[in-house]
Structure 1
Amino acid sequence: MANATIDERVAGVSAAALERRLPPAWRLVPLLFYGLAFALVRGDIASLPGSVADLSLHLYFAAMACYVGGMFAYFAYFAYRNEAMRWLGIAIVVPGALLHVGAIVSRGFADGHYPLANMYEYSSMLALVAVTVFLLMTIRWPVASLGGGVALFVVVALMGIGYGLYQSPEPLVPALQSYWLKIHVTSMMASSGVLVSSFVFAALYLIKDRSASVKSWLNGSAMAARLPSLETLDRLTFRAILLGFPIWTFGTMAGAIWGEHAWGRWWGWDPKETWAAITWIVYAIYLHAHTLRAWRGRRTALIATVGFVSIMVTLYAVNLWIVGLHSYARGAG
């Protein structure tokens, strides 16, 4: 009932009315982050076209700054249930996403090819997909905004990891010079972004579920009580996985076709292929378990969390620490 009330309030109050409720000082916060973003990119704009790579990197940082600001706004919305804070978060995150698009497009110009050839570019695109999925989910289900702080924390963490793996623009290695790069890697990246979003709601489910059965600091602070209902969190997790799983399946199949073209075999149990298959199996188990009423809830949330860990191993651990055919000097293949 409480969550239905939240949805009704969000749907029934206009943005203008919410803005009037926002204290005057808070209305300046988006301008602060817009100014910070402009300060990060203005020098490179003036020196175009010679510094497209630098422009891309500064746009990346500007987007990150906006996401951090949006993260705090969404955490404030979660803590105080002030709808104006939700709109404040949107006002900061949406321009951040546009800056992020600019960072990726300008990186493509600097590369001279499709910007998904290394772990920095992959992490950047993955974070953008996760942000986009989150924003779309909040439009369809406004109650999802209560997880915005956690979602943006994950996005900022992905971008931080990506920057730690930064590589200067360079030509594609021969193994990646194929149109299958766009088909296979884009599919895997898009599905990963959607499935990362499902992890956010699964994690919140486990937090709320645990707080209901264990006396802990969560009960004392009453923070867990502010989360959407367990049923809502389960539904959001399921819908994200229902979208991401078929895309992951398609991307894995496209990778097998690319492997046959590049190496003369469809599947060779390379570490990357093995972990992609493990990830597929985990989410297939989730979808099957979700059809069983006895498993739906805590168990399926745990399976979704295992799936997220498997994705991180597939995308990062295999590329960085395990030698295989997909280890293109930290490439994204």
Structure 2
Amino acid sequence: MPVNQTYATFSDTAFASAFIIYALALIISLVYYVKIQGVIDARREASRVKELVGTGTGAGAGTAGGSTAAGAVDALDRDHFNDDHDLPGAADINDGLVADEALEARQASARKLANMTQTLVWLGVIVHLVSIVLRGLSADRFPFGNLYEYVLVVTFGAMAGAAFLLQRPQLRVMWPWVITPMIALLFYGGTELYADSAPVVPALQSFWFPIHVSTVSIGGSIGIVSGIASLLYLLRMWQPKGREKGFFGAVAKPLPSAKTLDNLAYKTAIWTVPVFGLGIILGAIWAEAAWGRFWGWDPKETVSFITWILYAGYLHARATVGWRDTRAAWINVVALVTMVFNLFFINMVVSGLHSYAGLN
């Protein structure tokens, strides 16, 4: 059947548009990330000053010699103040109220950026979906025929899932961490992996083709979000809230608590294991119909199975007493790395029965 070039061209245009929208969302999310860092620093400083004011006032009331608030502060570490700051006294309380209002204004400004990011992401997801649909319509088939299309579908699933999961305000600081790898995948897919729209090879002209690939894609998309959450959990565990140090401490400062990140990784992995596992089972059924056997330890089959075992191992470790720490999270990160390895190395380098990347 001839390819509809109009649909194919519009699909490519929608792909480029989605990429640009995601890039804008990334820029705004990075600005939001930096602003939140400043808000956190300012709030911690304001809180520390109030504690010093309270300590100074209490000391003045309870000392027979009538020591002043400033005298009480003298007993504290003055190194926290630079030459541009006066030592806090009782008169600074009014200034503190003004500072609180300024902080609220800064936080409201940052919140607008977070909302803009969320809106742009949803817009990008819609345009992304249009690109996928038009790609399929151009060749009158499901758009899973080559590695470019597979990357297109997996990144869509990851972005759509993340847009749904990161709606809570405290989770929106995670957008730079999610968008960055997705943009990298889209850029690589649109440049190095791109293939013109065309009918699929005869081996893929099967009833099981869209069912198997779509299920695996959905499972893989959710697994990517789970792996990123575990990676951020490890960073947060290394740099605990309120005790961040150095460059990585500054990077980790806006992130949610370790518990929040761990719960996000766990809840998404709960979906990854059955969906990705179902995709493998459906692939085995298709293999029996196409090649006369359910399993043949083809490289793609093998690494997919290892990836599923790792995700299942993460869930088991996460539910096991004594493993509910960084060890379980590391298993999830390894599963993510294995999935990416399977997506690129196995498809592009290793020859096997699943070598339909469309790169030649």
Per the TM superposition, whether the score is higher than 0.5 is: yes
How far the C-alpha of 1:330 sits from its partner, in A, is 3.8
Q: Would you say the 8 A contact 1:56–1:103 is kept in 2? A: yes
Any idea what the Cα deviations from partners look like across 1:127-149, whole Å, max 9, x if unmatched? Answer: 1111111111023x432211111
Residues in 2 aligned to 1:265 and 1:277: alpha-carbon distance in whole angstroms? 16
2:318 is aligned with 1:290 = yes
Structure 1 counterpart of 2:7: 52
SS at match of 1:168: coil
Structure 2 counterpart of 1:304: 332
Structure 1 counterpart of 2:346: 318
Q: Would you say the 8 A contact 2:272–2:311 is kept in 1? A: no
Structure 2 counterpart of 1:160: 187
How far the C-alpha of 1:214 sits from its partner, in A, is 8.6
Any idea what the Cα deviations from partners look like across 1:130-175, whole Å, max 9, x if unmatched? Answer: 1111111023x43221111110111111111211201001111111
2:172 is aligned with 1:145 = yes
Residues in 1 aligned to 2:20 and 2:258: alpha-carbon distance in whole angstroms? 32
Structure 2 counterpart of 1:73: 28
Residues in 2 aligned to 1:142 and 1:243: alpha-carbon distance in whole angstroms? 23
2:296 is aligned with 1:268 = yes
How far the C-alpha of 1:78 sits from its partner, in A, is 2.4
How far the C-alpha of 1:91 sits from its partner, in A, is 2.1
Q: Would you say the 8 A contact 2:226–2:268 is kept in 1? A: yes
Greater RCO between the two (CA within 8 Å, min separation 6)? 2
Q: 1:99 aligns with which of 111, 121, 127?
A: 127
Any idea what the Cα deviations from partners look like across 1:269-321, whole Å, max 9, x if unmatched? Answer: 00001001100110111010001232113112211110011111222211100
SS at match of 1:308: helix
2:232 is aligned with 1:204 = yes
Q: Would you say the 8 A contact 2:273–2:311 is kept in 1? A: yes
Cα gap change, 1:322/1:50 in structure 2, threshold over 3 Å: closer, same or farther? closer
How far the C-alpha of 1:329 sits from its partner, in A, is 4.3
Which deviates more from structure 2 when the two are superposed, residues 249-258 or residues 93-102? 93-102
How far the C-alpha of 1:55 sits from its partner, in A, is 1.3
Q: State the percentage of identical aligned residues.
A: 33
Give the partner amino acid of 1:93.
Answer: V
How high is the TM-score relative to the length of structure 1? 0.80
Residues in 2 aligned to 1:237 and 1:207: alpha-carbon distance in whole angstroms? 13
Q: Would you say the 8 A contact 2:303–2:338 is kept in 1? A: yes
CA RMSD of aligned residues (A): 1.6
Residues in 1 aligned to 2:315 and 2:170: alpha-carbon distance in whole angstroms? 23
Structure 2 counterpart of 1:136: 164
SS at match of 2:285: helix
Q: Would you say the 8 A contact 1:234–1:297 is kept in 2? A: no
Q: Would you say the 8 A contact 2:195–2:358 is kept in 1? A: no
Structure 2 counterpart of 1:29: none
Q: 1:116 aligns with which of 144, 157, 167?
A: 144
Structure 1 counterpart of 2:100: none
Q: 2:16 aligns with which of 23, 48, 61?
A: 61
Q: Would you say the 8 A contact 1:71–1:150 is kept in 2? A: no
Give the partner amino acid of 1:64.
Answer: F
How far the C-alpha of 1:50 sits from its partner, in A, is 4.7
SS at match of 1:305: helix
Any idea what the Cα deviations from partners look like across 1:173-231, whole Å, max 9, x if unmatched? Answer: 11100111111000011111111111221111122222349954223xx3312210111
Q: Would you say the 8 A contact 1:319–1:330 is kept in 2? A: no
How high is the TM-score relative to the length of structure 2? 0.75
SS at match of 1:226: coil
2:220 is aligned with 1:192 = yes
Cα gap change, 1:236/1:267 in structure 2, threshold over 3 Å: closer, same or farther? same
- Indicate the structure (1 or 2) with the bigger Cα radius of gyration: 2
The unaligned stretches of length 5 or more in structure 1 are 1-48
Cα gap change, 1:104/1:330 in structure 2, threshold over 3 Å: closer, same or farther? same
Residues in 2 aligned to 1:242 and 1:310: alpha-carbon distance in whole angstroms? 18
Q: Would you say the 8 A contact 2:307–2:338 is kept in 1? A: yes
Give the partner amino acid of 2:114.
Answer: R
Residues in 2 aligned to 1:182 and 1:229: alpha-carbon distance in whole angstroms? 39
Structure 1 counterpart of 2:99: none
Q: Would you say the 8 A contact 1:79–1:223 is kept in 2? A: no
